[in-house]
Amino acid sequence: SMAVADDSPSDVARILISSQRSPMTYLSTAKRHLQQHGSVHITALGTALSSLVTLSEVLKNSKLVDEVKLTTCLEHFKDEFSDRQKPKMDIMLTKSAAFEKIMAEEAKKQNDHAGADPQ
């Protein structure tokens, strides 16, 4: 069997962003992947590109990630009715130096709220 050359490690967590969902729905998934793997690959096509950039910027502005690599291309789609290209963007993010500290503070805040919650 032929091995397919791939310059990215196979254990890299990938998230394909959909334009049907809010970018914020991917936030906890991205954080979980970062915690488990140390990095996350987020990808989007066409109209989902703005959601991809939004998610990336939210993570960067929260000081949770470093942007390692950004790749753009035109993906070719061909069927019997049309032959078209869609813009595609791929962003590789890694845990920032402050990631663990920020996540610990977030978890502590959630626990404090949970503890203070009157039943």
Q: Give tens-digit pLDDT for 52-86.
A: 999 999 999 999 999 999 999 999 988 888 888 99
Q: Is residue 6 part of a domain?
A: no
Q: Is residue 4 part of a domain?
A: no
Q: Is residue 87 part of a domain?
A: yes
Q: Distance between CA atoms of 15 and 71, rounded to whole angstroms? A: 15
User: Are 95 and 64 contacting, i.e. CB atoms less than 8 angstroms apart?
Assistant: yes
Q: Is residue 63 part of a domain?
A: yes
Q: Distance between CA atoms of 12 and 93, rounded to whole angstroms? A: 11
What pLDDT score does 5 carry? 44
- pLDDT of 8 over the 90 cut: no
Q: Is residue 79 part of a domain?
A: yes
21-64: pLDDT as tens digits: 999 999 999 999 999 999 999 999 999 999 999 999 999 999 99
Tally of domains within the chain: 1
pTM above 0.95, yes or no: no
Q: Which of the pair, 113 or 13, is modelled with greater confidence?
A: 13
Q: Distance between CA atoms of 10 and 6, rounded to whole angstroms? A: 8
Relative to beta strand 65-78, strand 39-45 is unpaired
Q: Is residue 85 part of a domain?
A: yes
Q: Is residue 2 part of a domain?
A: no
Q: Distance between CA atoms of 81 and 6, rounded to whole angstroms? A: 31
Domain that holds residue 84: 13-116
- pLDDT of 110 over the 90 cut: no
What pLDDT score does 77 carry? 87
Q: Is residue 18 part of a domain?
A: yes
Which CATH number belongs to the domain containing residue 91 in this structure? 3.30.110.20
DSSP string, 61-119: HTT-EEEEEEEEEEEEEE-SS-EEEEEEEEEEEEE-TTHHHHHHHHHHHHHHHHHH---
pLDDT band at 113 (very low <50, low <70, confident <90, very high): confident
